[in-house]
Amino acid sequence: MWKIIIPVLVLFSLSYEIEGKTIFKHIGDYVASSIINDIHKTNKQIDKQAANSNS
């Protein structure tokens, strides 16, 4: 009985580990892309302000 259960538990925990890492990777990618978008937005606003102050 235990010879069957232990490999199943090991496989389940491995697949869970992989799933968890991919979920965290997606969250990390989303956070990184939103931070990059914010930086681009603020850079555009700074460029606009600089252009307005120069004219």
In this predicted model, what pLDDT tens digit does every residue of 1-55 receive, in sequence order?
Answer: 667 777 887 877 777 777 777 777 888 888 888 988 999 899 999 899 888 988 6
Which residue, chain included where needed, has tokens 């990777």?
A: 25
Domain positions in the chain: 1-43
How much is the pTM?
0.48
Q: Exposed e or buried b for every residue in 18-41, given b needs 16+ CB within 10 A?
A: eeeeeeeeeeeeeeeeeeeeeeee
